[in-house]
Amino acid sequence: MRTQVAIIGAGPSGLLLGQLLHQAGISNVILERQSGDYVLGRIRAGVLEQVAVDLMDECGVGERMHKEGLVHAGIELLFKGERHRIDFPGLTGGKTVMVYGQTEVTRDLMAAREAAGLPTVYETGDTVSLHGFDGSTPTVRYRKDGAEHEIQCDFIAGCDGYHGVSRASVPRGAIREYEKVYPFGWLGLLADVPPVFHELIYANTDRGFALCSMRSPTRSRYYVQVPLTDKVEAWSDEAFWKELRLRLDPEARERLVTGASLEKSIAPLRSFVAEPMRFGRLFLAGDAAHIVPPTGAKGLNLAASDVKYLADGLVGHYRERSSAGLDHYSERALRRVWKAERFSWWFTSLMHKFPDEGPIAQKLQEAELDYLVSSRAASTALAENYVGLPL
């Protein structure tokens, strides 16, 4: 098979890139190690910055998002038993975010790709291998239904996540990795119950962090900070709801509606960056190149901005015979990545209880939060980063 761009990974970043390239008349093939149903079954966050919303519209797949997504104009910070609102439009000149689950983003992009008849190969397993990306004729090989296949291409886009083959294919000496692993995780529960509040509540308490989020007016997603040693099997639904209630303010506690979990899992938190993000004709995007703790809701949004930079570079290459966009891809993407990493690290450090720090740490966090909500400058810095810095 011959194509212009081979995309590894059919998550939102790979699908988004494929759709943008298709609209620009650039042929592409997507390879995915799992089945389509498996990809859709992954439960992920869903707070979209304006950049991500605009890209969905640019791809022609924004209709359902605008119909079902929830526009949020702020968040609530809960500390010392009281909630304080951060007003996004008032602090950022009118900017908001959109709550729309990553699963739904993926579903919309999958449907558009299928409707356009674009080639996607699912269930390749661990058979994908990348070759020749340090030269001018890259190839991708894989095994499917007992047969060997090879794709010849101009470029390879590695959109296959942290554990994917793309970054692993880069020679060790060509890549530098930065990582911080946090000493706790998020126990998350998804349930068909109305949200406790119409905006997200981020809670700092002496029992640990909690987050009240939602997927729709009838489906909620809640999280509590737990030790990394905890096992999800040890947490019954009843135990989860009891612990969450202890971390809320009286009003939220009163409004909390509980129910059976649809999904429950523990996610570890880490900050990770691999740089550069280009190796010859191989480009990394999204989780293949960087991971952020979910506190700042930056994972999917960083993937979207990576894809925007990469798509622009590829369009410039084919339409204008210019290499500038591709040559500067890694530098441009990493500048935004590191700012998002900084924000996510800061927000995580501010809101969570660290096991090796004594009572003074809680007092210092509360003092910073008190300053944050009473200073317009500090509130503006939080709001600007949360809604998304400019491309």
Question: Which residues participate in catalysis according to the annotation?
Answer: 72, 202, 294, 298, 386
**Quick one: 347 exposed, middle or buried, by C-beta within 10 A (0-12, 13-18, 19+)?**
buried
**Cα–Cα distance between 23 and 61 in angstroms, integer?**
12
Residues counted in the chain: 391
- Reference 48, options 30, 32, 68, 34; nearest CA is 68
Residue 241, strand partner residues: none
Q: d(Cα 93, Cα 89) in Å, to the nearest integer?
A: 5
Q: Residue 28: which of 155, 130, 138 has the closest Cα?
A: 155
Q: Are the C-beta atoms of residues 32 and 124 closer than 8 Å to each other?
A: yes
CB 373 within 8 A of CB 84: yes
Q: How far is CA 288 from CA 35, 272, 275, 314, in A?
A: 19, 10, 11, 19
**Taking Cα atoms as reference points, which of 149, 165, 157, 155 lies closest to residue 135?**
155
